[in-house]
Amino acid sequence: DVKVTQSSRYLVKRTGEKVFLECVQDMDHENMFWYRQDPGLGLRLIYFSYDVKMKEKGDIPEGYSVSREKKERFSLILESASTNQTSMYLCASSLETLRGGLTDTQYFGPGTRLTVL
């Protein structure tokens, strides 16, 4: 079974703090993703990575950055947290396949519910 773990289930931070969300997958997947999930908006892609040290912007990258120094680990960084970044953050990974590319089945972590006060 693929396992995707996220460092925290719940996190409370203050406005202006630097926040790190960590994600680790144990199945040697090439592709990793960060989404935020908000009621009525579904999942929105923040950043993704298809290889170590590679990153691509998703739909809503503003206010976020990412780091992928090792294949199994993908970090999301909020440089200066703001209240509008209060959300559920979901990490996912997928296997790079000749047919599927970046777009085949994704495996999700349990999520981190971040509250910024």
Partner 1 sequence: AQSVTQLDSQVPVFEEAPVELRCNYSSSVSVYLFWYVQYPNQGLQLLLKYLSGSTLVKGINGFEAEFNKSQTSFHLRKPSVHISDTAEYFCAVSDPGGYQKVTFGIGTKLQVIP
The residues of the shown chain that bind partner 1, judged by CB under 8 A, are 4, 35, 40-43, 45, 48, 50, 56, 58-59, 90, 92, 99-111
| Burial category of 12 from C-beta neighbours within 10 Å (exposed 0-12, middle 13-18, buried 19 and up) | exposed
Q: Which long-range contacts (CB under 8 A, 24 or more apart) does 37-41 make?
A: 37/87, 37/88, 37/89, 37/90, 37/111, 38/87, 38/88
Considering the complex, state which of residue 25 and residue 75 has its C-beta at the smaller distance from partner 1. 25
Considering the complex, state which of residue 17 and residue 96 has its C-beta at the smaller distance from partner 1. 96
Considering the complex, state which of residue 40 and residue 69 has its C-beta at the smaller distance from partner 1. 40
Smallest gap from Cβ 53 to partner 1, in A, equals: 16
Smallest gap from Cβ 17 to partner 1, in A, equals: 25
Contact status, residue 55 vs residue 48, Cβ threshold 8 Å: yes
Smallest gap from Cβ 105 to partner 1, in A, equals: 5
